[in-house]
Amino acid sequence: MQRVASETTPYNPSMRILIANDDGYLAPGLAALVKACEGLGELDVVAPEQNASGTSNSLTLNRGLSVYTAANGHRYINGTPSDCVHLALFGLLEHRPDLVVSGINQGANMGDDTLYSGTVAAAMEGFLFGIPAIAFSQVQKGWTNVDAAGRVARSVIEHVLRDPPAAPHYLLNVNIPNRPDADHLPRRITRLGRRHASEPVIRQVSPRGDTLYWIGPAGDAREAGPGTDFHATSNGEVSITPLHVDLTDHARLPEWREWASKAPG
């Protein structure tokens, strides 16, 4: 992927970019992503009030949502990442965005983890309604070199705006190694790896004597060979995985039809 100086993409007042995340509206990664988008068009920021990592595609249906505006103009919602993008698209924004970007997440969203990711879900909410979308994550937690990750995001966003992909409707999952030179690392188009395993649940007794269970951390990657997101980032590359949402097992549809035709009744 070719790198392009930011000044080659002029400000386009008709370009509208919606920015969301799952770490909350105060997260350094959100500020880095806003900075990455500055000068490209009209920006709207709608993010969760609190950290909503791991909330996947959940929507809040059992209560009303409140929308607040921070001093910097960013809006925040007492809901999930998907709530934020959904409300933005169908309640808050006067115009439909041309692009939805999400992140920059604190921590990787690779392999099976993408199913749980609020960062990917926020982008996916835009994608589900026909808007191209990109999720950005830093591989290691801690916000080290988040500015460099922001420069990667800028470069990827400029690339898709300047040279739109053949598929005009896309969902990209970008994972960026935490390195000061991240914007000079090679970009690799990847597929999702697999983990297949999780660390055990952790049991604790609270100060009040109640037993609590904590979901354990994700296990090590089990399928992390060449071509996967795990492989790329562990080899010092920026991983870009095109995603789709259709969970149908297309390859096995004939087998299942055959099975169903033999079923009793």
Q: Which is nearer to Mn ion, 41 or 150 (CB)?
A: 150
For Mn ion (CB under 5 A), the number of binding residues is: 4
Nearest by Cα to 39 from 158, 165, 126: 158
Nearest by Cα to 131 from 103, 171, 159, 162: 171
Stretch that binds Mn ion, among 68-76, 103-111, 156-164, 211-219 (CB under 5 A): 103-111
- How far apart are CB 68 and Mn ion at their closest, in Å? 20
Count of alpha carbons within 13 Å of 226, Cβ hemisphere only? 0
**Residue 84 to residue 65: CA distance in whole angstroms:** 10
Stretch that binds Mn ion, among 31-39, 76-84, 100-108, 168-176 (CB under 5 A): 100-108
Provide the strand spans (E) within 22-87.
42-48, 67-69, 75-77
Residue 53 binds to Mn ion (criterion: CB under 5 A): yes
Name residue, tokens 């806003």: 34
Residue 22 binds to Mn ion (criterion: CB under 5 A): yes
Q: Which is nearer to Mn ion, 40 or 172 (CB)?
A: 172
**Residue 14 to residue 119: CA distance in whole angstroms:** 26
- How far apart are CB 178 and Mn ion at their closest, in Å? 14
**Residue 47 to residue 93: CA distance in whole angstroms:** 14
Residue 173 binds to Mn ion (criterion: CB under 5 A): no
Which secondary structure element, helix H or strand E, spans residue 232, and what is its range?
helix 229-234
Out of 9, 55, 80, 105, the residue judged to bind Mn ion by CB under 5 A: 105
- How far apart are CB 23 and Mn ion at their closest, in Å? 4
Residue 82 binds to Mn ion (criterion: CB under 5 A): no
Residue 57 binds to Mn ion (criterion: CB under 5 A): no
Pairing of strands 202-205, 171-176: unpaired
Residue 23 binds to Mn ion (criterion: CB under 5 A): yes
- How far apart are CB 79 and Mn ion at their closest, in Å? 15
CA angle 59, 105, 183 (to 5 degrees): 145
Residue 113 binds to Mn ion (criterion: CB under 5 A): no
For Mn ion, the nearest residue by Cβ is 53
Judged by the rule CB under 5 A, the positions of this chain that interact with Mn ion are 22-23, 53, 105
